[in-house]
A and B are shown apart, each in its own frame.
Chain A
Amino acid sequence: MTAKNKYQNRIELLQGTLDMLILKTLQWGEQHGYGISQAIRVNSGEVLQVETGSLYPALHRLERQGWVNAEWKKSESNQRAKFYKITKLGKAQLASDYERWGKMVATIEGIMTAK
């Protein structure tokens, strides 16, 4: 029962926004996949739970685009983990993504508040 409620409380991520969220998370510093999913969950107030089935493909896609770099390092808990780091290209991408997002929100808002 609880599982179901929890699921309903979540919001389905809009297509294309996951990349933006990951890039934004990485702007605060390099992070591994688990850390990224935790950060997004915490920062969304436990509403957004990124599925691993979306997260890892997205990370590898970003890496292939050259928007992030990856490196194996020791984590704070002394675990070996693959850390992702945003690149210059990634920062530019984030800026343009964010701009587009802002426009879209404004547009949708405009439609919703139209009289």
Chain B
Amino acid sequence: MRWFRFLQRKSDLAAEIESHLNMAIAERVARGQSPEDARKSAIHEFGNVPMVADATRDQWGWLRLELLIQDLRYALRQLRKEPGFTLTVVITLALGIGANTAIFTLVQGILLRSLPVNDPSRLYRIGDKNDCCYYNNYQNDNGDFDLFSYDLYLHLKQAAPEFEQLAAVEAGGNGFSVRHGAEPARPMRSEYVSGNYFSTLGVGPYAGRLFNENDDTPGAAPTLVLSYKTWQSDFAADPAIIGSTVYVELHPFVVAGIAPPGFFGDRVISNPPDFWMPLASEPVLEGANSALKGVDELWLYPIGRVRPGVNIAALQTKLSVILRQWLATRPAYSDRGGTALIPRQHVILAPAGGGIQRLQQQTGAGLRLMMILSTVVLLIACANIANLLLARCTARRSDIAVRMALGASRRRVIRQILTESVLLSLIGGIAGLAIAYAGSHMMLTLAFPAAKNMPVQALPSPAVLAFAFLVSLFTGVVFGTAPAWLSSHAQPADVLRGVNRSTGDRSSIPQRALIVLQVALSMVLLAGALLANAQAAYDLTRSLANRLFGQRGPEFQELVGRTIRSVTSGILGVALIQTALAALGFLLVGLPGASLWIVIFLFGAILQAGGLVFIPAVIYVFAVASTTRAVIFLIWCVIVGTLDNFLKPMLLGRGVAVPMAIIFVGVLGGFISMGIVGLFIGAVVLSVAYKLFLVWLKGAAAELPA
């Protein structure tokens, strides 16, 4: 509305100015001037029409907004004009933000979350292993006992008043077909739990009621509790479901209530239950196979809430004693030499409040690595964007100079570029949001393939998103604006005259530094990705080697590994050291196109001919720079060029049972035929061939006398 009024006033002002001019012209014509002259002199007298209009509009207090809109329009036009640049920046940003948000979302969902239960610090599980699902003997060689029978659970419950409440939950789960009304039957996951399960955890119902002890008595009317997610997805969140009857494998169960959202059981597993049933209903469904009635059948995890101030270590000892006493009374465990194993049986109390812990342990290390990697990705993205913006600003220096020369204020110029950077970051951020959502969803699907009920939310956390977004916004603003600020301080006339033009096509020092940073970060990323899969890769090569070389497989795998290591540390290591030193020399002496020289030198060094690259460089420096500088540069080149002769014997061929010459020839041949990868392939092929040859020789020699 206000905007509409502004537009109206704007056209009003234009009309006012026009009427002013018309009156001035009319009066001049009346005084006898020709219409053309009258028009000219009237306009001359009036002055700069747009400027007057601007100054007048300024009085309305709308100018700021108008300038912003101008900036935005101009920025959009600029971005559209360079779709390649825009797309690159947006994709880079989107990947950086998206990957980070996805990973951090998982980190938050898995590592930083605890179960939605009441006062989780007092919850303990008797047992710390994940044995599953039905046992009727000892579970672990060291006597760690973590699965319990119903009888044993009741025994513990009665003998350990340190627990305010002690509940039991089935270690495994079951798949049942569930039918409601006329709808087709649906497969669902379920878990049997003791009647005090929910009250022990301190979880209240979302709707209806949860179990009580009455539900868990033999002969009680069968009831079940639905998970919130299942209620939402399979029963269309229909409140009428509470109290109605569903059929589990044709047995009628009354839906007692709905568990609260976010409750997926006492532990986070990849396929959490869709509903819970009291232990007492187990015989109903399992009939003759019922585990509940098997006194020695171990299939439950006891979870208890200890009273405040209970000594956990003492309770653990006490429970272990009770366990051993119980075992001694059961023939199934004491017969056939079982008695000898009883003394070492014990239980360990594990905090169950962070019930998500198991998942955390399983995925924690991987997630943390992913987190570091994705942070590196974000850094690379930022470096990349900074670099692009710097390059663009250099290209636009003359553009800025023209605008300054036409009278644009420095603030206006910088604000324009700032608007552009922020706009870019915003677009990237929105794309990043999409990637973040898709990414975390995809990773969750990969992590919990069987889950119908995802125990972790895929919604990116706003805090994480905001963080990643702010980092990239900051990059955009700093690297977009700083160069603009610098170029706005240059004398427009100088820039236009081309004083700096010669430097225009050479990348600036910050730009070069950014490229180095990017390459370094990418290497970290690559190494990290390889490390994350190191064990898998190792196993793969081992089985491959076994296939290829039979019994000698491990030996050859070792050989390949050693050869690669030797090439890396020897050839590449020496080449990199030399290149770094040479690069220092090139940069200090101010060789034009230093980055190109450095790349050429690196290749030369790998080919053992780095010194050759020095020759034209030294000649150039002697021709251009002062003699002293040139001589110092020459000495530096000689030192760097001969360095490999000392370094190589120290690093190459160490720990490899193959002569260095063989590796060396392999490296050279491989590089010539295949490039960088050939360095390794050539060396490996030659050393393996050499080893095979030796084996063949020895084998032949061994066969001869026989």
Give residues in A with beta carbon < 8 Å to B. 32-35, 51-53, 56-57, 59-61, 64, 75, 77, 79-82
B19 touching A60 by the CB < 8 A rule?
Answer: no
- Knowing A34-B20, A79-B22, A81-B23, say if A53 contacts B48 (CB, 8 Å): yes
B26 touching A32 by the CB < 8 A rule?
Answer: no
A56 touching B17 by the CB < 8 A rule?
Answer: yes
* C-alpha gap A45/B47 in the complex (Å): 22
B46 touching A52 by the CB < 8 A rule?
Answer: yes
B55 touching A34 by the CB < 8 A rule?
Answer: no
* C-alpha gap A35/B24 in the complex (Å): 9
B16 touching A56 by the CB < 8 A rule?
Answer: yes
B17 touching A34 by the CB < 8 A rule?
Answer: no
| B window 41-76: CB within 8 A of A | 46-48, 51-53, 55-56, 58-60
- Nearest B residue (CB) for A80: B19
B60 touching A32 by the CB < 8 A rule?
Answer: no
22 contacts between A and B (CB under 8 A): A32-B19, A32-B20, A34-B23, A51-B47, A52-B20, A52-B47, A52-B52, A53-B48, A56-B17, A56-B52, A56-B53, A56-B56, A57-B52, A61-B59, A64-B59, A75-B23, A79-B26, A80-B15, A81-B20, A81-B23, A82-B15, A82-B19
Question: With a CB–CB cut-off of 8 A, which chain B residues contact A35?
Answer: 23
Nearest 7 CB-CB pairings of A with B: A60-B59, A56-B56, A34-B23, A81-B19, A34-B20, A82-B16, A61-B59
* C-alpha gap A77/B30 in the complex (Å): 11
* C-alpha gap A81/B13 in the complex (Å): 11
* C-alpha gap A57/B57 in the complex (Å): 7
A34 touching B59 by the CB < 8 A rule?
Answer: no
For A34, A35, A79, the residue with the greatest tally of chain B CB atoms inside 10 Å of its CB is A34
Question: With a CB–CB cut-off of 8 A, which chain B residues contact A51?
Answer: 47
B58 touching A57 by the CB < 8 A rule?
Answer: yes
Question: With a CB–CB cut-off of 8 A, which chain B residues contact A64?
Answer: 59-60
A57 touching B19 by the CB < 8 A rule?
Answer: no
| B window 318-343: CB within 8 A of A | none
How many A-B residue pairs have C-beta atoms within 8 angstroms? Tell me.
59
CB distance from A103 to the nearest CB of B (A): 28
Interface extent on B, as a size class? Answer: 20 to 34
* C-alpha gap A34/B53 in the complex (Å): 15
Give residues in B with beta carbon < 8 Å to A. 12-13, 15-17, 19-20, 22-24, 26, 46-48, 51-53, 55-56, 58-60
CB distance from B632 to the nearest CB of A (A): 63
Question: With a CB–CB cut-off of 8 A, which chain B residues contact A60?
Answer: 13, 56, 59-60
Tell me the dominant secondary structure on chain A's binding face.
helix
For A56, A59, A61, the residue with the greatest tally of chain B CB atoms inside 10 Å of its CB is A56
- Nearest B residue (CB) for A51: B47
CB distance from A57 to the nearest CB of B (A): 5
- Nearest B residue (CB) for A49: B45
Task: From A53, A59, A77, give the contact of B23 (CB < 8 A).
Answer: A77
* C-alpha gap A32/B17 in the complex (Å): 11
B23 touching A57 by the CB < 8 A rule?
Answer: no
Question: With a CB–CB cut-off of 8 A, which chain B residues contact A32?
Answer: 19-20, 23
* C-alpha gap A27/B650 in the complex (Å): 101
- Nearest A residue (CB) for B44: A3
Question: With a CB–CB cut-off of 8 A, which chain A residues contact B47?
Answer: 51-53
* C-alpha gap A33/B22 in the complex (Å): 12
CB distance from A105 to the nearest CB of B (A): 28
* C-alpha gap A52/B26 in the complex (Å): 18
* C-alpha gap A110/B373 in the complex (Å): 80
Question: With a CB–CB cut-off of 8 A, which chain A residues contact B16?
Answer: 33, 56, 81-82
B52 touching A53 by the CB < 8 A rule?
Answer: yes
Task: From A33, A53, A61, A77, give the contact of B51 (CB < 8 A).
Answer: A53
Question: With a CB–CB cut-off of 8 A, which chain B residues contact A33?
Answer: 16, 20
CB distance from B543 to the nearest CB of A (A): 83
* C-alpha gap A62/B537 in the complex (Å): 80
Question: With a CB–CB cut-off of 8 A, which chain A residues contact B51?
Answer: 53
Question: With a CB–CB cut-off of 8 A, which chain B residues contact A75?
Answer: 19, 23
CB distance from B609 to the nearest CB of A (A): 72
CB distance from B130 to the nearest CB of A (A): 75
Task: From A57, A77, A80, give the contact of B56 (CB < 8 A).
Answer: A57
- Nearest A residue (CB) for B42: A34
CB distance from B514 to the nearest CB of A (A): 47
- Nearest A residue (CB) for B16: A82
CB distance from A102 to the nearest CB of B (A): 28
CB distance from B101 to the nearest CB of A (A): 47
For B17, B23, B26, B48, the residue with the greatest tally of chain A CB atoms inside 10 Å of its CB is B23
Question: With a CB–CB cut-off of 8 A, which chain B residues contact A59?
Answer: 56
* C-alpha gap A17/B48 in the complex (Å): 23
Question: With a CB–CB cut-off of 8 A, which chain B residues contact A79?
Answer: 19, 22-23, 26
- Nearest A residue (CB) for B48: A53
- Nearest B residue (CB) for A63: B59
Question: With a CB–CB cut-off of 8 A, which chain B residues contact A80?
Answer: 15, 19
* C-alpha gap A75/B15 in the complex (Å): 14
- Nearest B residue (CB) for A33: B20
* C-alpha gap A80/B18 in the complex (Å): 10
* C-alpha gap A56/B19 in the complex (Å): 13
For B13, B53, B58, B59, the residue with the greatest tally of chain A CB atoms inside 10 Å of its CB is B59
* C-alpha gap A51/B48 in the complex (Å): 11
Question: With a CB–CB cut-off of 8 A, which chain A residues contact B59?
Answer: 57, 60-61, 64
CB distance from B25 to the nearest CB of A (A): 10
Query: Besides A56-B53, A75-B23, A81-B20, 4 other CB < 8 A contacts?
Result: A32-B19, A52-B52, A53-B55, A79-B19
* C-alpha gap A92/B583 in the complex (Å): 78
A77 touching B26 by the CB < 8 A rule?
Answer: yes
* C-alpha gap A32/B23 in the complex (Å): 10
- Nearest B residue (CB) for A59: B56
* C-alpha gap A60/B46 in the complex (Å): 17
CB distance from A70 to the nearest CB of B (A): 9
CB distance from B62 to the nearest CB of A (A): 11
Question: With a CB–CB cut-off of 8 A, which chain A residues contact B53?
Answer: 56
- Nearest B residue (CB) for A76: B23
* C-alpha gap A75/B52 in the complex (Å): 23
* C-alpha gap A79/B22 in the complex (Å): 8
- Nearest A residue (CB) for B12: A82
Question: With a CB–CB cut-off of 8 A, which chain A residues contact B17?
Answer: 52, 56
CB distance from A82 to the nearest CB of B (A): 5
Question: With a CB–CB cut-off of 8 A, which chain B residues contact A77?
Answer: 23, 26
Question: With a CB–CB cut-off of 8 A, which chain A residues contact B19?
Answer: 32, 34, 75, 79-82
* C-alpha gap A33/B15 in the complex (Å): 12
B55 touching A56 by the CB < 8 A rule?
Answer: yes
CB distance from B407 to the nearest CB of A (A): 15
- Nearest B residue (CB) for A35: B23
- Nearest A residue (CB) for B46: A52
CB distance from B297 to the nearest CB of A (A): 88
B26 touching A57 by the CB < 8 A rule?
Answer: no
Question: With a CB–CB cut-off of 8 A, which chain A residues contact B58?
Answer: 57
CB distance from B11 to the nearest CB of A (A): 12
Question: With a CB–CB cut-off of 8 A, which chain A residues contact B26?
Answer: 77, 79
B56 touching A34 by the CB < 8 A rule?
Answer: no
CB distance from B153 to the nearest CB of A (A): 82
* C-alpha gap A56/B13 in the complex (Å): 9
* C-alpha gap A81/B19 in the complex (Å): 6
* C-alpha gap A51/B26 in the complex (Å): 19
CB distance from A80 to the nearest CB of B (A): 6
* C-alpha gap A32/B16 in the complex (Å): 9
Question: With a CB–CB cut-off of 8 A, which chain B residues contact A34?
Answer: 19-20, 23-24
